[in-house]
């Protein structure tokens, strides 16, 4: 990336010195790509299809790739080894009575030592130090109920020849991805959409519901769905059982609404205890580990706790280059209220972390724009994701494990839609002023055909029906609904974004705030207690105040820096103008050309609201996606 610059705070030693203080209990662990298919109509004889599917996930596992083929099943695996790089080859197969049980798994099981001891006491003998084998033996012991025993982030598929059954499973919060598509005589599955689409029986087909989702829910998706007609997502905290007779889906965990009995001091103490324990478990790695440190209280807290446990911890933030004399790097907006870098440097100095700032230019962002589509497989927000791609490209060169602050805003009510009446009183999704649909730019014919307004309303009402019942009323109940909607939709988007943009460069992102014990505890903290001190996330700030500089503890919520350099905005606007002139392009067919021109003319050069650049970037990516993926509309 021509304009990429990396600056670092002075410290001795190179990246390989960022080693963790050794745990007394070690196990091998992997972030991976998983893929496979079942075909009951014939015996599988060759590996061409599974090899093609597996190759699409090479970025998720640059260390190794393997496959296993049974009579009616082919399973592929790519591996990024984090601990004990020589152990835990996959797919892992156990033969019982002449029948194979084969596992392909990606993730981190943070209670692996405890599970290993528990299984050992039940008579299981282990041949490796891998958490892969722990997952396999947990299945052999408890069957489908093994997911109840696992604490961590994971997605896996198990083919059991003893009863011709495929089991797909995903962790409680949906940190690691998994998709599948049903066939007439089987099923196809993979970590990413590109792996499923690589199977010859699966087409990149979008129907009117998929189109409505694309234009009405920017940048989110309905849980359990994708924009492709035939591909669905394994939902968080779900297992999917596939047999010849059909597919059965079961939720194995959900947030429980319980009375919160701790007072504020006890709550603060408990938050600190749970977060500290989560970080302690998640810093275990044999390869260099870092943190994402934007200078906000979430990532700063994770950085501070990790620095207590990791010798020579490296942290990263991202900044935008000033491209004109006397100019500014990017505009301050309601989304991103001030510059991260000073706070990131302040945090790193305070906790003793080595810090690098990745400085990106407009050229870097534009170079990453196409890579974002490849990583995400669907149109997304280039304004957010291009800078993440650039950041992880640098991190991937020095530290393949990164701890992040995702989840804290969802748990402790960091977003403005928890606190601003105009947002939470809106009879619809509460982020309507932050992430706006592109419905208004559609032509009349396309709007009548796709019916995105109807879809959005139906989607919202269905989402409300999923919110757990509770005894709360009035504003407390509405904020509880807002929390549930944010978990179901927005957190899902953030985790998908973090996973794809990091794994595109072979980096594993861990999210200590999303330990399910901490999530369950924080879910029931009363909304006013969460705002202790009259500031968003106040109770979290109090829990980590002794770890951080006072300026960071009191810093107001500022969203991840959107990629809105003047040059990036100009480029997106110019590309959009060009695309709407192409009559046979998707945008040329569905957008109102006059409305788009007015939109671009009105917002050119305006950095006070990032929405215009967000929408332009999204539309450009959507048009590119239809062409690159050969999307067929039905």
Q: Which residues belong to the active site? A: 32
The span from the CA of 225 to the CA of 202, in Å, is: 16
Place of tokens 């152990």: 87
Structure tokens at 37: 């298919």
List Cα–Cα distances, 203 to 48, 208, 375, in angstroms.
18, 16, 19
For residue 624, give the nearest of 365, 439, 369 by alpha carbon.
Answer: 369
Six token digits for residue 287: 């390869």
Phi-psi region of 231 (alpha: psi -120 to 50; beta: other; left: phi over 0): beta
3-state helix, strand, coil in the chain (%, to 5): 45, 20, 35
Q: Radius of gyration over alpha carbons of the chain, in Å? A: 24
Label residue 378 left, alpha or beta by phi (over 0 means left) and psi (-120 to 50 means alpha). Answer: beta
Q: List helix spans (H) across 182-262.
A: 193-197, 208-216
Q: Tokens for 74?
A: 């082919």
d(CA 61, CA 491): 25
**Distance (Å, whole) CA 438 – CA 434:** 13
In 475-573, the DSSP E strands lie at 508-510
State the CB neighbour count (10 A cutoff) for residue 306: 26
**379-418 b/e (C-beta count within 10 Å ≥ 16 → b):** bbbbbbbbbbbbbbbbbbebbbbbbbbbbbbbbbbbbbbb
């Amino acid at each position: 990336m021509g304009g990429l610059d990396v600056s670092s705070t002075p410290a001795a030693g190179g990246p390989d010195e960022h080693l963790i203080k050794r745990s007394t209990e070690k196990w091998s662990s992997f972030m991976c790509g998983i893929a496979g298919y079942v075909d009951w109509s014939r015996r599988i004889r060759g590996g061409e299809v599974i090899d093609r599917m597996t190759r699409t996930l090479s970025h998720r596992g640059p260390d190794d790739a393997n496959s296993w083929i049974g009579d009616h099943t082919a399973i592929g695996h790519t591996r990024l080894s984090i601990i004990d790089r020589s152990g835990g080859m996959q797919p892992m197969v156990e033969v019982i009575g002449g029948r194979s049980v084969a596992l392909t798994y990606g993730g981190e099981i943070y209670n692996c030592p405890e599970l290993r001891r528990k299984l050992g006491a039940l008579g299981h003998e282990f041949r490796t130090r891998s958490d892969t084998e722990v997952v396999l033996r947990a299945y052999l012991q408890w069957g489908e109920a093994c997911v109840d025993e696992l604490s961590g982030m994971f997605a896996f598929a198990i083919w059991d020849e003893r009863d011709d059954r495929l089991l797909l499973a995903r962790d409680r919060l949906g940190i690691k991805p998994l998709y599948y598509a049903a066939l007439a005589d089987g099923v196809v599955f993979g970590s990413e959409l590109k792996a499923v689409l690589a199977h010859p029986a699966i087409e990149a087909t979008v129907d009117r519901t998929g189109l409505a989702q694309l234009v009405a829910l920017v940048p989110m998706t309905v849980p359990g769905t994708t924009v492709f007609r035939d591909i669905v997502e394994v939902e968080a905290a779900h297992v999917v059982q596939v047999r010849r007779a059909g597919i059965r889906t079961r939720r194995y965990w959900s947030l429980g609404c319980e009375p919160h009995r701790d007072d504020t001091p006890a709550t603060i103490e408990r938050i600190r205890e749970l977060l500290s324990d989560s970080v302690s478990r998640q810093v275990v790695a044999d390869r260099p580990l870092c943190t994402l440190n934007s200078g906000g209280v979430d990532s700063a807290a994770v950085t501070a706790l990790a620095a207590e446990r990791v010798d020579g911890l490296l942290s990263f933030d991202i900044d935008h280059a000033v491209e004109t004399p006397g100019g500014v790097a990017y505009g301050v907006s309601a989304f991103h209220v001030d510059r991260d870098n000073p706070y990131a440097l302040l945090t790193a100095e305070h906790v003793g972390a080595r810090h690098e700032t990745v400085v990106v230019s407009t050229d870097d962002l534009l170079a990453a724009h196409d890579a974002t589509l490849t990583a995400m497989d669907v149109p997304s927000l280039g304004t957010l994701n291009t800078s993440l791609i650039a950041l992880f490209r640098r991190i991937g060169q020095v530290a393949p494990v990164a701890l992040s602050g995702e989840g804290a805003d969802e748990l402790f009510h960091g977003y403005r839609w928890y606190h601003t009446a105009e947002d939470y009183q809106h009879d619809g999704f509460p982020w309507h002023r932050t992430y706006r649909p592109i419905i208004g730019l559609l032509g009349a014919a396309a709007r009548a055909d796709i019916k995105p307004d109807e879809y959005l309303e139906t989607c919202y009402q269905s989402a409300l029906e999923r919110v757990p019942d509770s005894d709360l009323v009035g504003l407390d109940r509405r904020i509880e609904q807002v929390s549930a909607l944010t978990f179901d939709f927005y957190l899902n988007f953030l985790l998908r974004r973090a996973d794809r943009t990091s794994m595109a460069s072979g980096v594993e992102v861990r999210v200590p705030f999303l330990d399910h014990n901490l999530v369950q505890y924080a879910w029931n903290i009363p909304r006013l207690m969460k705002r202790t001190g009259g500031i968003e996330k106040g109770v979290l700030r109090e829990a980590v105040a002794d770890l951080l500089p006072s300026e960071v503890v009191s810093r107001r919520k500022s969203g991840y820096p959107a990629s809105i350099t003047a040059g990036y905005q100009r480029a997106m606007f110019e590309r959009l103008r060009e695309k709407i002139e192409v009559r046979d392009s998707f945008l040329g067919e569905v957008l109102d050309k006059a409305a788009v021109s007015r939109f671009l003319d009105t917002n050119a050069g305006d950095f006070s609201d990032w929405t215009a650049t967000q929408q332009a970037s999204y539309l450009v990516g959507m048009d590119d996606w239809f062409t690159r993926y050969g999307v067929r509309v039905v």
